[in-house]
Structure 1
Amino acid sequence: MYYSSSISKRLVLVPVLVVMATQLLLTRTISSLNMTNAYLHHKCLVSQGKIKPGSLDEKDFNAIIKSLSKDSYAFRTGYSMMAFGDEPNMVSVTFQCRGDSYGDKCRSCFATAQSELRKRCPRDKGAIIWYDHCLVEFSSSDTTGQINYDDGFCMPSAKNVSGDRISFELSVLALISNLTRIAVTKKQKIIKKLGQAGTVCGWGGEARDEEVVRNGAVYA
């Protein structure tokens, strides 16, 4: 079985399959956003098995990477998922770019991320890599409409909270609430929106399943 999902496709559009907390990144300063595409983190999901050299899985995987690399519309909208096969022998690739990093930046980030992930997790069917501008996920299962609570990561800040800690926590909650509201109500296909509450800043990636956005934000 083959299926693909992007904004241009008729199928259900799904969110990035990672913990919402990794998408609501609390940034150091607004001015630092979107300046570089730094590597953040990766995870090899070894429990999903390996792609054997010369196998149909390898052929399908390479075909997906090639097809996604040419999908200009997906890069303009910042999201796509493509899969071949049926579980447990599925091969799928998902990418999502940050809301202010669509177009050429999205294309460049996908190229860098998928290449680097293949080096860091050679032949793993399951793997995730995060960059400042995007994330890429390889998977052997259909995670459509699900939140992956197991494979997120935290980005600690070198700065500690000073002053009123309760006030800071309330500002964080207000920021997440505002970003969630924007993500599920914004009518535009492309969101390039920053949120700010007091001295806490962040961004929210637009997802295509409103319930998943809300649940993910609550979890975050």
Structure 2
Amino acid sequence: MDYREGLLLLLSSMLVLRHCTAQPDPNAYQNCTYSRGNFTAKSTYQTNLNLLLSSLSSNAKTISGFCNTTSQNSNKVYGLFLCRGDVTPETCNTCIKAASSNITQRCPTAKEAIIWYEYCMLRYSNQPIFSIMEKEPSICLPNDNNVSKSVQSEFDKIWVDLFNGLVSQAASAAAVGRKYAANEANYTSFEKIYGLVQCTPDYLRMIATNA
């Protein structure tokens, strides 16, 4: 799998919506991976998870919009957050604080979980997750509007060209800090395709190391 395919797959890690609001969307989407196991109340894992989420929340104003950390005790917990590349540190901070609070409410005993908002995502796991390309967990929100058959082929070509360009832009050395790119393309005289890609900076470092 090359970096282009990896970056396109990582698009699933950010929930991208067309509208904008002043506050993070309260209708967050989560994936509770109970197959990785459950933890019990007042266990060491829960204590470590609470400390990890508190650490992530306290670092939510970072300019890069990204942070990863690991609990240092037994029953390790690995965690990270990523804010959308076009949001301010203040918006990122608000979003991550909401995510760090809500993820334990929505996945109360899961040893691995991820939560997506419009402006950010937050994930934790009992297994290493840094600099690792994974297809799951993911989320798909289909658009109810279908592309007409008469422009399907042209739509597909424009979509591929748009995202190939975005992947190259996000992965380039010029995109320091936030590995993010967004653009739009016309596929009819009055309709557009909007695209956004983003990768966690630790994944880009792994690509550079393995190049």
* TM class, shorter-length: 0.7 to 0.9
- Contact kept in structure 2, 1:99 and 1:206, CA below 8 Å: no
Aligned to 2:165: 178
Aligned to 2:38: 50
How has the CA–CA distance of structure 1 residues 48 and 68 changed in structure 2, closer, same or farther, with 3 Å as cutoff?
same
Q: Does residue 149 of structure 1 match 2:147?
A: no
Residue-by-residue CA offset, 1:82-114 (whole Å, 9 max, x unaligned):
112589x32122110101124011111111112
Q: Does residue 189 of structure 1 match 2:182?
A: no
Write 1 or 2 for the structure with the bigger share of strand. Answer: 1
Q: Relative contact order (C-alpha < 8 Å, sep 6+): which is higher? A: 1
Aligned to 1:20: 10
- Contact kept in structure 2, 1:129 and 1:135, CA below 8 Å: yes
User: 1:72: how far off?
Assistant: 5.1
Aligned to 1:116: 102
Q: Does residue 205 of structure 1 match 2:203?
A: no
- Please give the TM-score of this superposition, normalised by the length of structure 2: 0.78
- Contact kept in structure 2, 1:49 and 1:125, CA below 8 Å: yes
In structure 1, runs of 5+ residues without a counterpart are 1-15, 214-220
- Distance (Å, rounded) in 2 between the aligned partners of 1:169 and 1:17: 18
How has the CA–CA distance of structure 1 residues 26 and 111 changed in structure 2, closer, same or farther, with 3 Å as cutoff?
closer
Residue-by-residue CA offset, 1:29-81 (whole Å, 9 max, x unaligned):
xxx3566632352111001222322222222212112222222553x211111
- Distance (Å, rounded) in 1 between the aligned partners of 2:119 and 2:182: 14
Aligned to 1:12: none
- Contact kept in structure 1, 2:37 and 2:110, CA below 8 Å: yes
- Distance (Å, rounded) in 2 between the aligned partners of 1:18 and 1:81: 21
Write 1 or 2 for the structure with the bigger share of helix. Answer: 2
The answer to which of 187-196 and 140-149 deviates more is: 187-196
The answer to which of 102-111 and 46-55 deviates more is: 46-55
Aligned to 1:78: 65
How has the CA–CA distance of structure 1 residues 197 and 164 changed in structure 2, closer, same or farther, with 3 Å as cutoff?
same
- Contact kept in structure 1, 2:113 and 2:125, CA below 8 Å: yes
Among the aligned pairs, what percent are the same residue?
A: 23
- Distance (Å, rounded) in 1 between the aligned partners of 2:8 and 2:100: 16
- Distance (Å, rounded) in 2 between the aligned partners of 1:73 and 1:53: 30
- Contact kept in structure 1, 2:84 and 2:119, CA below 8 Å: yes
- Contact kept in structure 1, 2:31 and 2:113, CA below 8 Å: yes
